[in-house]
Amino acid sequence: MPSRIREFEQCCWDVRGLLSRLGPDEVCCDGLTPRQCRVLRAVGEEPELDLTTLARQEGLTLSGMSRRVDPLVQGGWLAKERGNGDDGRALKLGLTKKGKESLTQVEDTIYGGIETLWQAMNPGERGKVLDALKVLVRAARRAEQKATGRRAIPLRAK
């Protein structure tokens, strides 16, 4: 294997490890896992998100996403409602009061860690790092699409 590939892999591995130590661990904030936190964040960003769209965004089957969402509904973080648009059978998801409070706690933890990392960077390099990360995410999405045959989900603009 070429040494640049090994170096790139090691950097990716190191970043993943460092980010996991700066943010929430495997179980945080009311006992939620990082994957469950992703669901709360997605629903928080797009009120009344439907289960099908969420599954597609996360690269899961509808049944796989249901298995991820059901404990959040049972635990009181999310509410499911029948859609009333074109397809009344479509399930819409919404954050409950408990879900909103937990999401705030999760995001405070995440943003606190990320701000620590941001502040540790040379201010003149921050823009370059951010641009490079966007390139990396786009490439990862293309690689995922190629590997799975699924359409890549575009970056969320913030």
DSSP notation for 2-31 = -HHHHHHHHHHHHHHHHHHHHS--SSBTTT
Question: Which structure tokens are listed for 145?
Answer: 């699409």
Give the list of residues 6+ apart from residue 134 with CB closer than 8 angstroms, or none: 155
Residue-level pLDDT, tens digit, the chain, 158 residues? 678 888 888 888 888 777 777 766 555 667 788 888 889 999 999 877 888 888 888 888 889 999 999 999 999 999 988 766 555 556 789 999 999 999 998 888 888 888 888 999 999 999 999 999 999 988 888 887 788 776 655 545 44
Distance, in Å, from the CA atom of 79 to the CA atom of 69, rounded to the nearest integer, reads 10
By the 8 A CB rule, do 106 and 34 touch? no
pLDDT value, residue 98? 95
Torsion of CA 27, 40, 78, 80, to 10 degrees: -130
pTM listed for this prediction: 0.69
pLDDT value, residue 80? 87
Domains of the chain plus CATH, in order, are 3-148 (1.10.10.10)
